[in-house]
Amino acid sequence: MQWGLNWFICTLRSSIGKKLIMALTGLGFCIFLIAHLAGNLTICAGEDAFNSYSERLHALGPLVILTEIGLLFFAVTHVFIGAYLFYENFRARPEKYLIKKNAGGRTIGSVTMPYTGLFILLFIVLHLVDFHFVEKTDQTIYQIVLETFSNPGYAFFYIVSMIIVAIHVSHGFWSAFQTLGVSNSGYMSLFRVMGIVISLAVGFGFGLLPIYISFIS
């Protein structure tokens, strides 16, 4: 490989480079998830708090758009590179094993990464249609949320989706640090624990919202 000025292209071409991009975009999403969760949790403080959070967020104007473009770019990159890696990995073993057992390294998160990823992609599309591109002139965001979650089918789908996001994050978070080269085993176990904590927070935080809205508030 010729390196030098075109290091970015070489990085993209290399397996580790692609994974680095997966790691960075993935960590970007983790930050987004945490921020999103923090925002959503204002719902617990009541309808007004939630609506005013939403208003203040949208008042940021260009900053929001910029972030949205950034997230879209991250998403496209993460999805396409992820899909390409999946294809390459599939091709790397043309003849499959008759049986292959887990030696103790794989977790639900790691095994299902491509599938949970695909599911999350579908979810995001639906989620954006339901909450982002929805007509917001007649009703507040709180009303939209309340209405949408009042459909038990949808609430169920949402909860399942959040569990799947949590599973994806459980592997993705620490994995990103491994890819970024944190080789000290002490830090590594810290990141593994943090990964679990974040995935639980995401799973419970988001997953409990529909239940909270429908039954408690």
Partner 1 sequence: MTKAGNKSCINLKLKVWRQKGPDVKGRFETYKARDVSTNMSFLEMLDVVNEEMILSGKDPIAFDHDCREGICGACGTMVNGRAHGPEKGTTLCQLHMRHFSNGDTVIIEPWRSRAFKVVKDLVLDRSVFDKIIQAGGYISVNTGGAPDGNAIPVPQESAEKAMDAAACIGCGACVAACPNASAMLFVGAKVSQFTLLPQGLPEAKKRALAMIGKMDELGFGNCTNETECEKECPKEISIENIARMNREFLKAGLS
Q: Which residues contribute to the site for partner 1 (CB under 8 A)?
A: 1, 3, 7, 10-11, 13-20, 85, 88-89, 91-106, 110-111, 113, 171, 174-175, 178-185, 188
- In angstroms, what is the minimal distance from the CB of 81 to partner 1? 10
Instruction: Give the whole-angstrom CA distance, residue 48 versus residue 39.
Output: 13
Closest CB 4 distance from partner 1, rounded Å: 10
Nearer residue to partner 1 within complex by CB, 20 or 166: 20
Least distance in angstroms from the C-beta of 78 to partner 1: 14
Burial environment of residue 184 by CB neighbours within 10 A (0 to 12, 13 to 18, 19 or more): exposed
Q: Give 112 or 161: the residue with its C-beta nearer to partner 1.
A: 112
Which residue lies nearer to partner 1 by CB, 137 or 184?
A: 184
Task: State the Cα–Cα distance between residues 152 and 155, nearest whole angstrom.
Answer: 5
| Contact of 162 with 203, CB cutoff 8 Å | yes
Cβ proximity to partner 1, 14 vs 139, nearer residue: 14
Q: How far is the CB of 184 from partner 1 (least distance, A)?
A: 7
Angle made by CA atoms 10, 169, 213, in degrees to the nearest 5: 140
Nearest alpha-carbon partner for 212 in 131, 135, 170, 158? 158
